[in-house]
Amino acid sequence: MSDNHRNVSAIKAFSDNYIWAISCQENLALVDPGDAQVCIRHIEENNLVLSAILVTHHHNDHIGGIAQLLAYADKMHWSVTVYGPENDNIAQLDVTLRENDSVILTELGCEFTVLDLPGHTHGHIAYYNDKMLFCGDTLFSAGCGRVFEGTAVQMHQSLSKLANLAGNTLVYCAHEYTAANLKFAMTVEPNNAELHEYAEKVKTLRRDNKASIPTIIATERQINPFLRCHTNAVKQAAINYSQSSIHNEIEVFATIRAWKDNF
Catalytic residues: 57, 59, 61-62, 120, 137, 175
H or E element that contains 249: helix 249-261
Question: What angle, rounded to 10 degrees, do the helices at 232-242 and 249-261 form?
Answer: 60
Closest CA to 44 of 62, 69, 19, 67: 69
Nearest to 163 by CA among 259, 53, 253, 245: 253
> How many Å is the Cα radius of gyration of the chain?
18
Report the b/e string of 170-202 with b at 16+ CB within 10 A: bbbbbbbbbebbbebbbebbeebeebeebbeeb
In the chain, which ranges are E strands? 2-3, 6-13, 17-24, 27-31, 49-54, 81-85, 95-97, 102-105, 110-116, 125-128, 132-136, 139-140, 143-144, 170-173, 215-216
The CB density around residue 76, as the number of other CB atoms within 10 Å, is 11
d(CA 142, CA 161): 16
Give the distance, in angstroms, between the CA of residue 134 and the centroid of all CA atoms in the same chain: 5
